[in-house]
Structure 1
Amino acid sequence: MAKSLRVDEVSGKMRERGWTQAHLAQQVGVTSQTVTNWMKGRDFPRPTALLKLAVTLGLAFENLVDPGGVTEPVIAFRKKAGTKTTDHHISKARGMGHLLKPLVALLSETRQLRTLITSPDCEYAPLRKAVEQTRAELGIGQHAVLSYSHLIGQFQKNAAILVPVLWGKKDRHENALHIRLPEEDVTFVYLNLDVKLEDFKFWIAHELAHVYTPELAGSEEGEDFADAFAGALLFPHECAEAAYRDAAGRVKSGVITALARYATQHEVSLNTVHQQVKRFAKNSGLPPLPVEDRTIHQVRNRVASTTVSEALFEPMPPDANSYISVASSVFQSEFFVALERLVKEQGVGAGYIQQVLDIPLKDSVSVHRALAV
């Protein structure tokens, strides 16, 4: 079944405004007959017209379109204990995905040869092998510190567009959102910059795992593998072994001090080091270190943490030009380059930016103004 407009929603918005189909056609830039064909289900708007229709009527995609049997965007929220991904979360993210489609044609041509993990497995041995192969492809050894540039560069090489956003300090899974467009073979990865700096590298590695395993994105299995891969990639077997040997035999406070030193050296969280050392000890048949997960979290929570946005921008909050500049330079993202073309060449407004970035209207107006200059 082909997708079609939700005619009742469109008609309701037209009634609110006192518009006829002819007036709507004028606003969208099509003929009256075209709108008639849409309303009768004879035809469906092209991506650009659909975008203008959504913005003109102020309708989110899920309220504008009945998708029928078409291929939907694949959505993955980072799993977080205590949170629940509802139908509303998925529907809203899919709507964002559909509205992102006009941007794809404005991106650079994507590589056909990409990095794939063909047999993803959370068990220790196969995961270790996948990490070894990945680090070898990146040109770094197993003891080396994995930098942000190593991770960020992999997204661009694998047709994944990073979209840094300022969504505030949320203790929920909206801090990372993965939207894959199967038909276009492009992925958009939203990363909230208003999070702790020490956690951010793990989240980027988690999202990279989704890019490497597209067939698992959106599944519980995919989330479990992404978490396992991220930890092992950032602090692999060889590092975990060294940390265990260093911490073994110490009292609890000494263990924490030793693990914290490795966390600082590798620019990852104390919890990442702790979890990887635990996995190493269990796999090697060694006794666990005398420190519990709860203690590690308590230590972390006592330390004041800088957010990524605070580290990148001075002062906070940044103006639109600074925000766009960082997205392009630091995160090597084509997102705002393509968005600028869409604004200038097709005349999309702030309402579209509000929907695809999921930000307040006043912020989208500022971004639109910066792109339209």
Structure 2
Amino acid sequence: MNKRLNIELIKKVMDSLGLNNSQVSERLAVSRTIVGEWLAEKKFPRPDKLVRLGMLLKLPHTDLVVDDAPLAAVVNFRKKSRRALTDTHFADALKKAMLLDLIADYLPEGSLEVPPVLKNPSMEYAYIQKAVALVRGLVGKSLTDVINYSDLVEIIHTYDVVPVPVFWGVTSCRDNDAHGLHIESPRSKKEWIYINLDSYLLDFKFWVAHEIGHIITKCSCDEVFSENFAELFAQSFLFPEEMAAKTYTKLVGLNANQLVVEMIALAETLFISPYTIYKSVNSYAVENGLAQLEKLNSSYVVIKKYVENKSTLIEKLRNDSVHSFARKYDEFLSPEEYVYLAETYFKTPIFDSLKKFLGETSKGDGFLQSLFDIQAVEAKELHYYLTH
């Protein structure tokens, strides 16, 4: 049976959402002609566009497509510097989902049950604060406790999500464009979260909290809403209303330079970016009809330099590790050290699963190159390490 869109339902949902062909084409970054051909059943969307169409209309694959075609994965990004998502990003993420599905059967038995996800996510401030309290409670944290790196890892595992630590660079101009990537696959019924070990240390908590925002909402909302919710959830998760209210009285009325000094001092104790504090306090002010903090303008550069002067996550992990490895060069990270750090700090089962998978199949280093977005020589070394 050929794949075909459920046109009648799609048009009905478009009408209920007040969307016309032009608006759909704009949201999906395709031409109105293409949308018209989809709805006239002359063409079928490519996998990445099909995923985004389903997210836009809030329709699961089983309602969107009328046939027994393989289910498409749901993917969510935390892009670097707010980079625009392209078809290439989605196609690459869907390819990763297919590769991950191949090793899903080699993973250890998952949890019998996981915490509930949010049924009807809302952007309302009070709702997000309730979601923050719920997720913090999973790791025994109050609304005034500092969130540690280990807390984030524990939350990921509590939701039975598999961490995939990778090296995707620190800027938007090198390596992969994402700080994080969440993949939910209906085929294997598994979830994965790519974590960028090259992140600046003070940014890392925010990127992971952002992906947790996707985890707790699943695919129950469209792409734009999902990203905005995850953004607000992350800042409130790391700096909840209780902290924001107390801090507001100290910061309101200060000029930009004074704000930066005060926020950096506070950020040092929480080990988060001062900008997260700034955004959270302003959200609190807006919610309560209070004056917002002074605009940072050029003072934001001071915060940026402060964050970039801290080490990256991988640098900290290597320094904190009690296990020493022979290193050819200071920057060289061997496959053995990479796997050790990933398993020690993120408790990920992916490498043990890969060892079993590679041992039973003929997959070569190209599989690892695509899965982790690494260079050919790195993939070759990692493949050798996992198979010997």
Q: Is residue 378 of structure 2 the alignment partner of residue 363 of structure 1?
A: yes
**1:70 Cα deviation after fit:** 2.0
- Residue in structure 1 matching 2:297, options 281, 294, 298: 294
Structure 2 residue 277 is the aligned partner of structure 1 residue 273? yes
CA contact (8 A) 2:80 2:178 kept: no
Match of 2:187 among 175, 183, 193: 183
Number of aligned residue pairs: give it. Answer: 309
Equivalent residue in structure 2 for 1:323, among 338, 341, 363 = 338
Match of 1:111 in 2: 111
What TM-score comes out, normalization by structure 1 length? 0.77
Which of 298, 301, 318 is the equivalent residue of 1:313? 318
Any idea what SS the aligned residue of 1:194 has? coil
- How high is the sequence identity, in percent, across the aligned residues? 29
Q: Highest Rg: 1 or 2?
A: 1
Distance 1:213 1:351 in 2: 33
From 260, 269, 283, the counterpart of 1:256: 260
What is the deviation of 1:154?
Answer: 1.5
Cα root mean square deviation, aligned: 2.2
The alpha carbon displacement at 1:298 in A equals 1.2
Give the counterpart letter for 1:231 in structure 2.
Q
Shift of the alpha carbon at 1:79? 4.5
One-letter code aligned to 1:150: D
Q: Is the 8 A contact 2:210 2:231 kept in 1?
A: yes
Q: State the distance in 2 between where 1:271 and 1:70 align.
A: 42
* Compared CA separation, residues 112 and 222, structure 1 to 2 (3 A): farther
> Which portions of structure 1, spanning 4 or more consecutive aligned residues, are displaced by more than 6 angstroms?
none
Task: Give SS of 1:215's match.
Answer: coil
Instruction: Please show how residues 1-373 of structure 1 align to structure 2 within 5 Å.
Output: 1=1, 69-79=69-79, 83-115=83-115, 116-171=117-172, 173-216=177-220, 219-290=223-294, 292-303=295-306, 304-313=309-318, 315-373=330-388
The separation in 2 between residues aligned to 1:337 and 1:369, in whole angstroms, is 14
The corresponding residue for 1:6 is: none
| Separation in structure 2 between the aligned mates of residue 217 and residue 187 of structure 1, nearest angstrom | 17
1:162-204 CA distance string (max 9 Å, x none) = 1111122331742212221112221111122112111110000
Instruction: Check conservation: 1:138, 1:150, Cα contact below 8 A.
Output: yes
Identify unmatched segments of 5+ residues in structure 1.
Answer: 4-66
Deviations 1:130-167 (A, max 9, x none): 11222223211111101111111111221211111112
Describe the SS at the equivalent of 1:105.
helix
**CA 1:237/1:360 → structure 2, altered by over 3 Å: closer, same or farther?**
same
Contact 1:205 1:233 in 2 (8 A): yes
Q: Which amino acid aligns with 1:305?
A: K
Q: 1:278 to 1:340 in 2, by over 3 A?
A: same
Cα offsets for 1:227-251 (capped at 9, x unmatched): 1111101100011111112223444
